[in-house]
């Protein structure tokens, strides 16, 4: 099956700009925002969102990363994941609005693991979720607050997010 491109570089940039504006609007500004990307591509997207937030409202949205590997419920069946670095910005998350950023929202299990990991780090005032692609097929009652693109898919299809920093091209495909 050939891959069909559903988002190109300009589409991704537009989606991240829109998500950034929506984050600022829902938070009534950029104060007390912590943007945490979930490795690997979620971290890259979080960094981009952080730059956009800072260009709109300087000083808003400190960016970090949150590795959820050890909190996943599939480690027994899928032990091949290598833990990545968790980097919580200075000041922590206590009393702040945390925006988790991931590339694709599918079953919701990665986000459940992220919520568990956050609970071990501190107590956020609120937790929001931003994803580039929401493909449906949720197994847990989790939904994104900020979505770049809703892409209804069949369970047999695969969404591939490629970003210039890791993949030398910028696109989202379905295959």
For 164-174, what is the mean pLDDT?
96
Helices (H), the chain: 9-27, 41-56, 109-121, 164-167
SS3 44: helix
Q: Rounded to an integer, what distance in angstroms lies between the CA atom of residue 44 and that of residue 35? A: 11
Is position 78 within any domain? Answer: no
Q: How confident is the model at residue 173 (pLDDT cuts 50, 70, 90)?
A: very high
Regarding pTM above 0.85, the answer is yes
What does the pLDDT look like over 41-92, one tens digit per residue? 999 999 999 999 999 999 997 999 999 999 988 877 776 667 888 999 999 9
Range of the domain at 19: 4-72+83-174
**For range 98-108, the mean pLDDT:** 97
Q: Is residue 77 part of a domain?
A: no
| CATH number, domain containing residue 68 | 3.40.50.2020
Q: How many domains does the chain have?
A: 1
């Amino acid at each position: 099956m050939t891959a069909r491109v559903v988002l190109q570089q300009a589409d991704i940039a537009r989606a991240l700009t829109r998500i950034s504006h929506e984050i600022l609007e829902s938070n009534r500004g950029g104060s007390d925002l912590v943007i945490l990307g979930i490795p690997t591509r979620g971290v890259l997207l979080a960094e981009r969102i952080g730059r956009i937030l800072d260009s709109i409202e300087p000083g808003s949205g400190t960016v970090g990363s949150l590795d959820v590997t050890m909190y996943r419920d599939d480690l027994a069946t899928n032990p091949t994941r290598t833990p990545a670095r968790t980097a919580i910005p200075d000041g922590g998350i206590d009393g702040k609005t945390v925006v988790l950023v991931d590339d694709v929202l599918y079953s919701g299990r990665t986000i459940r693991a992220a919520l568990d990991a956050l609970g071990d780090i501190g107590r956020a005032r609120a937790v929001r979720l931003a994803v580039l692609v929401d493909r449906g097929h949720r197994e847990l009652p989790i939904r994104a607050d900020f979505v770049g693109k809703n892409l209804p898919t069949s369970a047999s299809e695969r969404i591939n997010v490629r970003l210039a920093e890791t993949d030398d091209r910028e696109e989202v495909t379905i295959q």
